[in-house]
Amino acid sequence: MGRIRKNDVDRDRYLTQREGKFYYKRRVPTDLRDLDARGEHVRISLKTTDLAQARAMRDVYENADNELWSTLSEGQDRDSARKRYKAAVQRAHALGFVYRPSHEIATEGLETILQRIEAVMSPATPMPVVKAVVGAVPRPVVLLSDAFDTYKNEIAPHQLVGKSAGQRKRWMNVRSESVDNFIEVVGDVSMDALSRDDTRKFYDHWMSKIAPKEGAATHGASIGNRRIGNLRVIYREYFEHIGEHDRRNPFDKMSYREKAKRQRKRLSLPLEWITGTILKPGNLAQMNDEARAIVLAVADIGARPSEICNLSAEMIVLDHEVPHLKIWPRDDPEDPREIKTESSMREIPITGLALAVFSKYKAGFPRYKDKESSLSAAVLKYFRKNNLLPSAKHHIYSLRHSFEDRMKEAGVDFEMRQILMGHSMARPEYGVGGSLKLRQEIMKKVALPFDREIV
């Protein structure tokens, strides 16, 4: 084996030869061995017997190690290292190269390596550009938790535009749960080192819950698919964000088959139960005023509880020939709210019970604004405690289904039912779906009888 030369001005420094092929071999600084995972020595085959080629490839590795050790010894924070790396990726792309660290460039083949070196041989080429093209800026150690912070703060914000504070929190919590679960099962792995073996471990963890070898399943396939799907997106969007668009995703083609489920009929409440039990004077008297008003509105017009919770004063139109509600997104930059589907946006005339409710609550329901989960929990608890539901299979949404049943019995056509319920239609939609006046006549036909005392 040839002698390793250590003098920094020696043209053959860090080169050694074995059976004709050159190797790059260098000792890791003693004080950095706890930080550099490669151990006491770095030893890499240069896969060439040509001394000139070996020197060129040695320079790539030498620059990479110098940059890495400088970063480690200076204790630079991860954010600075990430920004420096991202800039290197962009510089390499500007010259027509995909950025790769030097040890990966060494596997691209001699022709590609020489193309990179020739592209920056001019003395006028700025050093940051040289380092970017030859891969001399090391990838920073970015843990999954760090990458998720970047995802939240730099990548995802545009996806949250238009969502309310509650919607943003729920959207982010779902993704945060996936990341936390992965860290709990596999560990807070470096993004650069995250492998198929790691994702397989996570996959197997959920397989044991979805299809255990013994005993009953504790979870369905859908939750496992959501967890893996969230991580797949975070991984892909993180690396695209730092400029690595061709990064292979270790979460790809990893999912569980979901069985086709028989469509379960959603239970509605009989009209007699609504009028004789729920709307019976006194039965809702102990419920807080806003929750009671929302329940009455849902029962009468069949809107989703979340839609009623989040009405603002501008969406409750009483000074109109046809009093109505505008179920729209909130566009106020200070108080936005997104509506998930276009079909959910609609205008609903209010008559009878609903008109009495909104004449009293002209500004909406501040107690439950953006807190539909709190409403559902409070109402269900009250209904169960006071025996206001005929069975454990009925719930608050049963009031909404009862509204659709009343429209069917009144002979309202399918398209109009879909419009008033806020459901999507399989065929293209034409026109505006009927005037407010026409919709008002329909709402009068299906309005619930009521005692004003209950409002």
Structure confidence by residue, pLDDT tens digits, 16-67: 998 889 998 998 888 877 766 677 888 888 878 888 888 877 877 787 677 6
Structure confidence by residue, pLDDT tens digits, 253-267: 999 988 755 445 578
Average pLDDT (265-273) is 87
Kindly report, as residue ranges, where domains of CATH 1.10.443.10 are found in the chain: 271-454
Choice between 5 and 228, residue whose per-residue pLDDT is larger: 228
Best CA proximity match to 144, nearest among 177, 192, 185, 101 = 192
Fold of 271-454: hpI Integrase; Chain A (1.10.443)
0.95 cut: is pTM over it?
Answer: no
CA distance 121 to 128: 13
User: How much of the chain exceeds pLDDT 90, in percent?
Assistant: 50
Least confident among 70-84, 130-144, 253-267, 330-344: 70-84
CA distance 455 to 448: 13
